[in-house]
């Protein structure tokens, strides 16, 4: 488990990582493939009636072009829909990996993140328009500015929604999420494992 966590944290090549653990490069590869899924986040299935969740998508540069596509950062990336509890800031769900050129509006449903949270209240940014989520107010056609109460709502919305961005910042201190060399489901397993480790760190 320590080898897997060290790999995700440092993103060293297996040739660099294996010697300190006294194993071969191929053995380290097998350990990561076998144990990585065992660290996966157990996604929450039940939520309090008053729970408020926050969703956003994050791009992970991914070298496996069979699962990645060029995205808005001009790199081959994968899109990961991450849902957190607005109160505890713990990750409660992570959607399936999608190519990085999928917009968040479609990825929300295609990744399974929508199904994972059921009827819970979820807030999101303006990129999720038409999904039924709680998003910021927008100016209507011909409207020069929003009413004061809507501006106040948007300010409160931004303040709460920023918590998911803070979560991404903490998760991406794990360098595997900055340039993932894993193939196939490896990037998804890494995201789930890092989400679980993030939650453990929050719990103290």
C-alpha–C-alpha distance, residues 119 and 97, integer Å: 22
**CA distances from residue 149 to 123, 124, 180, 189 in whole angstroms, order as listed:** 18, 19, 44, 43
Tokens coding 165: 């961005």
Segment 112-133 mean pLDDT: 94
Segment 66-77 mean pLDDT: 89
pLDDT of amino acid 145: 87
pLDDT of amino acid 71: 87
C-alpha–C-alpha distance, residues 195 and 201, integer Å: 10
Average pLDDT, the chain: 94
pLDDT digits (tens, 9 = 90+) for 4-39: 999 999 999 999 999 999 999 999 999 999 999 999
pLDDT of amino acid 181: 95
Report domain extents, the chain: 43-181
Write the burial class of residue 81 (CB in 10 Å: 0-12 exposed, 13-18 middle, 19+ buried). buried
pLDDT digits (tens, 9 = 90+) for 77-94: 999 999 999 999 999 999
> Sign of torsion, CA 74 77 78 79?
negative
Q: Does residue 72 have a pLDDT over 90?
A: no
Q: Does residue 160 have a pLDDT over 90?
A: yes
- In DSSP terms, which residues pair with 94 in a beta bridge? 82
E-assigned strands of the chain?
52-61, 69-70, 76-85, 91-94, 98-99, 121-123
CA dihedral 181, 5, 166, 55 (to 10 degrees): 70
C-alpha–C-alpha distance, residues 82 and 90, integer Å: 10
Q: Does residue 44 have a pLDDT over 90?
A: no
């Amino acid at each position: 488990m320590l080898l897997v966590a060290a790999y995700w944290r440092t993103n060293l090549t297996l040739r660099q990582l294996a010697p300190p653990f006294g194993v071969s490069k191929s053995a380290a590869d097998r350990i990561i493939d076998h144990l990585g899924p065992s660290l996966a986040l157990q996604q929450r299935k039940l939520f309090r009636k008053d729970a408020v969740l926050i969703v956003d998508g994050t791009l992970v540069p991914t070298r496996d072009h069979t699962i990645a596509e060029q995205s808005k950062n001009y790199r081959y990336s994968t899109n990961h829909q991450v849902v957190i509890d607005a109160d505890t800031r713990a990750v409660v769900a992570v959607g399936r990996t999608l190519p990085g050129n999928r917009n968040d509006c479609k990825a929300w449903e295609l990744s399974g993140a929508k199904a994972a949270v059921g009827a819970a209240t979820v807030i999101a940014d303006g990129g999720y328009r038409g999904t039924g989520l709680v998003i910021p107010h927008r100016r209507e056609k011909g409207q020069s500015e929003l009413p004061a109460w809507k501006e106040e709502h948007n300010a409160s919305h931004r303040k709460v929604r920023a918590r998911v961005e803070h979560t991404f910042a903490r998760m991406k201190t794990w360098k595997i999420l900055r340039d993932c060399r894993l193939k196939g489901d490896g990037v998804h397993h890494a995201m789930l494992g890092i989400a679980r480790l993030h939650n453990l760190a929050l719990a103290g």
